[in-house]
Structure 1
Amino acid sequence: MVPHRTGSTSITQSTDAAPPAAHPDPRAQEPVHRRLETNWSVSLFGTAVGAGVLFLPINAGLGGLWPLLIVTVLIGPMTYFSHRALSRFVCASPEPRADITVVARTNFGEGAGRLITVLYFLAVYPIVLIYAVGITNTVDSLLVNQLGLQSPPRWLLSGALVALLMLVMLAGQRIMLIITQWLVYPLILILLGVTLYLIPSWDFSVFHGVPSAGNLLLSLWLVIPVLVFAFNHSPAISQFSVSMKHTYGPRASERASVVLRRSTLLLVVFTMGFVWSCVLALGPMGLQSAKTQNLPVLSYLANSHGSPFIAYLGPAVALAAIASSFFGHYMGAAEGAVGIVRSMVDRDGSLISDKRLRAAVAAFIFITGWIVAIANPSILSLIESLAGPVIAVILYLMPMYAIHRIPALAPYRGKASNVFVTVAGLVAVSGIVYGLVS
């Protein structure tokens, strides 16, 4: 096929030349769907902002101000280029309904495709469990510390909360996007309000001095994986890219890049502004105490700051962030689970219908999320040991390999951004492995 030109880039479906299509895709001339793109920008922001609001200030702040300053400069390009590459990987398939699991099997073969599908599931599914724990702890803390009520039985509270989140997802993608908007727009405003409100509490004295070059590099090496996780919205990228393909056809990759730029800008401005404000207001001792209590930083602030404003807005922000992030990560986890079954058990769908399979996946995620929420493991340990390494491989390294392997992605080869993403991915993976071993 003749390449479809989209701005400065192009997506080719084959290396062999072929006559131009007699009937060009009418979607190539369609106008930009502003509302759809805005909805997805907000949804992608919501997918990532949960971890950034809940746990990023704790681990990133404990490394000191200088590493935090450096990663503040780096995280924007890291987030945009990596997610853009993953979206291009999905958009490279001409099949509008082909998600990341289908594209992986098509381009890498059944064996490698299955492996990528399993890794994709393992990168996303633990985060769904993390949010099941997070929302249970946040609501329990709100009931006890702000409302003065007794802590309800954990099995009952966690079951009700996880079931409520699941009901939104089972209502459909359109309903999920609408509810995400209701959550994220107020979340952005409240985040900004909390960030500005904490300014009088800033204390730079506890972070005095400049670390040695060795300590600075070590802290930077260990904090990058935390940033990779906190700004990760890859679980929603596959369905987002499928939506772009359905709407724009050959222009999908071009328009997806525009949306991703907007979501990245939102994340860097609002999340990193919030992180800096929390770190400077709490100091190292407060951050360590929040980590020890296994609480989101906002819940800790609500309990320790002594301000009615923070006491009630803190848990509200945490709940909105958890819910919006849960929705995006559930999409990825369900997609990966369905892909595993389809690739290993029922490839043609003759044994299990799509409806029955998705219902079974929903039941599995609900039951396991409920069990983990009752067990209440350390959230940061789950992030570091389960989610972090696989996310870095799937988000940073796999798309770079695909660009050099898949003919449809040939126009994107030889770019400086590819080197940047590859190096960032290797640093993230090595930092995670070092943290686990040490």
Structure 2
Amino acid sequence: MSITQDIPLSNEGETLSSWNKHDTRWMLSLFGTAVGAGILFLPINIGAGGFWPLVVMALLAGPMTFIAHRGLARFVLSSANDKADFTDVVEEHFGRSAGVLISVLYFLSIFPILLIYGVGLTNTVDSFMVNQLGMVPPPRILLSGILVIGMVAIMLAGEKVMLKTFEVIVYPLAAILFGLSLYLMPHWQLPQWDVVPEFGELSLTLWLAVPVTVFAFSHAAAISSFAQAQRRHYGQQASGKSERILKRTSIMLISFVLLFVFSCVLSLSPEQLAEAKAQNVSVLSYLANIHDNPFIVLLGPFIAFIAITSSFLGHFLGARESFNGLVSKHTKLSEKSTDKLGIVLMIICIWFAAVMNPSILGMMEALSGPVIAMILFVMPVIAIYKVPAMKQYRGKVSNYFVLVVGLLAVSAILFNF
């Protein structure tokens, strides 16, 4: 069931090379889905391995991000059904049994992230009210309920409101990341260029850094709805337009996020990065502690709030669509009843997790991670060589590149787990 049906086909006079507000809003929504709270830990997770592994991963991040998400979008658009979502496409191409299994795993890879964001959003606002505003926050059950229902209300308002919300919150997020990157430049400590780790040590560091990089830039949860929206808006040009939007999204992600990562890593010593990793705090919290800068202290909660909000919206989009597709196809419930049931159940679960405030982040990331890697990197490549509708993509070097990255990500996550 498509949940973004309030923008009709309206591509009159537009060409494949043209760019318009529709494209910009989807680029921002995909950027916002990718830039979640994880970005605040990315400099520590990648930078702790040393400077040269960081350089290698920075070079690989762009191709990894663009090729993988392009493959998933192509997979969704390969259906013979113009209104097919991810659940429809996997059943069409892989059969009913395998399709149901993949769809269930897809939902379970997204939904735990929503629970994480429900907890994170509540904690961020509660901490801001106590420490920065000097207020007594309302009871946790009330605060979390207002925040969760508020986020879901944005999604229920439709695609236009959702895209406009992304447009409002992503610009300041990108601006603040850029501003912080510039602020840290005077504190840069240039690395020792001649100190190169041994091959075995470098290989191990890179292997374990692959999943961190993959999921820091992942916006897979929104790709199915994104692809459907382009098919509705552009018709036969959907594949080409999707690729163009995804390319600009990847460039925007790499530009802002990697500048932020390099600036943070170069302003901290290897010992400080190791200490921050041991303390399990975000890079902004650690920078605020060592610089004693009120500007960073105030910006930290704000960045966390808009990063979590933007990523919550994108992941809710994917979870809602996945739930609707699974339940409506395999029960007697109508699409409208399924949608209402899914929204109520997800609100209750996210709200409950936010109230209970469990320490489940690492476990959920470990459970979600391998499935996301399989769906984003491995499955589209398998489909290219199995599905006749995707045969034009066979024999490309990019297929083997993204397949290897996906397998490395899965194996590294399981190794860490």
Unaligned 5+ residue runs, structure 2?
A: 1-8
Counterpart contact for 2:27–2:246, Cα < 8 Å? yes
C-alpha distance after superposition, 1:217-236 (max 9, x if no partner)? 11111111011111000111
Map 1:319-358 → 2, pairs under 5 A: 319-344=305-330, 346=331, 351-358=332-339
**Equivalent of 1:233 in 219, 241, 249:** 219
Counterparts of 2:191 and 2:404, CA distance in 1: 34
* 2:300 aligned residue: 314
1:435 aligns with 2:416: yes
Counterpart contact for 1:187–1:320, Cα < 8 Å? yes
By how many angstroms is 1:293 displaced? 5.7
Q: Residues 211 and 33 (structure 1 numbering): CA distance in 2 closer, same or farther, change over 3 Å?
A: closer
**Equivalent of 2:395 in 403, 406, 414:** 414
Counterpart contact for 1:384–1:432, Cα < 8 Å? no
Counterparts of 1:199 and 1:284, CA distance in 2: 17
* 1:216 aligned residue: 202
Q: What amino acid is aligned across from residue 395 of structure 2 in structure 1?
A: G
* 1:424 aligned residue: 405
1:361 aligns with 2:347: no
Counterpart contact for 1:162–1:370, Cα < 8 Å? yes
Q: Residues 66 and 207 (structure 1 numbering): CA distance in 2 closer, same or farther, change over 3 Å?
A: same
By how many angstroms is 1:308 displaced? 2.4
Counterpart contact for 1:137–1:295, Cα < 8 Å? no
By how many angstroms is 1:287 displaced? 4.5
Counterpart contact for 1:334–1:361, Cα < 8 Å? yes
**Equivalent of 1:196 in 157, 161, 182:** 182
1:144 aligns with 2:125: no
Q: Residues 27 and 312 (structure 1 numbering): CA distance in 2 closer, same or farther, change over 3 Å?
A: closer
**Equivalent of 1:41 in 16, 27, 30:** 27
**Equivalent of 1:70 in 46, 56, 59:** 56
1:305 aligns with 2:291: yes
Size of the aligned set, in residue pairs, is 407
Counterparts of 2:78 and 2:13, CA distance in 1: 19
By how many angstroms is 1:338 displaced? 1.3
Q: Residues 33 and 73 (structure 1 numbering): CA distance in 2 closer, same or farther, change over 3 Å?
A: closer
Counterparts of 1:188 and 1:28, CA distance in 2: 32
Counterpart contact for 2:231–2:238, Cα < 8 Å? yes
Counterpart contact for 2:71–2:380, Cα < 8 Å? yes
1:88 aligns with 2:69: no
**Equivalent of 1:256 in 218, 232, 242:** 242
Q: Residues 368 and 294 (structure 1 numbering): CA distance in 2 closer, same or farther, change over 3 Å?
A: farther
Counterparts of 1:341 and 1:290, CA distance in 2: 43
By how many angstroms is 1:188 displaced? 1.1
Counterpart contact for 2:184–2:263, Cα < 8 Å? yes
Q: TM-score, normalised by structure 1?
A: 0.86
Counterparts of 1:337 and 1:209, CA distance in 2: 50
* 3-state SS of 2:36 partner: helix
Counterpart contact for 2:327–2:333, Cα < 8 Å? no
Q: What amino acid is aligned across from residue 43 of structure 1 in structure 2?
A: S
**Equivalent of 1:125 in 93, 111, 117:** 111
Counterparts of 1:203 and 1:336, CA distance in 2: 46
Counterpart contact for 1:302–1:315, Cα < 8 Å? no
1:174 aligns with 2:160: yes
* 2:89 aligned residue: 103
Q: What amino acid is aligned across from residue 428 of structure 1 in structure 2?
A: A
Which segment drifts farther, 55-64 or 200-209?
A: 200-209
* 1:280 aligned residue: 266
Unaligned 5+ residue runs, structure 1?
A: 1-24
C-alpha distance after superposition, 1:247-288 (max 9, x if no partner)? 111211111000000000000010111112222334455545
By how many angstroms is 1:301 displaced? 3.7
Counterpart contact for 1:28–1:251, Cα < 8 Å? no
Q: Residues 79 and 51 (structure 1 numbering): CA distance in 2 closer, same or farther, change over 3 Å?
A: farther
Counterparts of 1:129 and 1:173, CA distance in 2: 22
By how many angstroms is 1:106 displaced? 1.2
Counterparts of 1:205 and 1:226, CA distance in 2: 22
By how many angstroms is 1:159 displaced? 2.7
Counterpart contact for 1:62–1:287, Cα < 8 Å? yes
Counterparts of 2:359 and 2:195, CA distance in 1: 31
Which segment drifts farther, 164-173 or 176-185?
A: 164-173
Counterparts of 1:279 and 1:246, CA distance in 2: 43
**Equivalent of 1:394 in 354, 375, 378:** 375
Q: TM-score, normalised by structure 2?
A: 0.90
* 3-state SS of 1:116 partner: helix
* 3-state SS of 2:79 partner: coil
* 3-state SS of 2:395 partner: coil
Sequence identity percentage: 50
Q: Residues 287 and 165 (structure 1 numbering): CA distance in 2 closer, same or farther, change over 3 Å?
A: farther
C-alpha distance after superposition, 1:68-118 (max 9, x if no partner)? 111000010000000000000111124332111111111211111111111
* 2:5 aligned residue: none
Counterparts of 1:135 and 1:127, CA distance in 2: 12
C-alpha distance after superposition, 1:337-384 (max 9, x if no partner)? 11221233x2xxxx3232222122112222222222234344651454
Aligned-residue Cα RMSD (Å) equals: 2.5
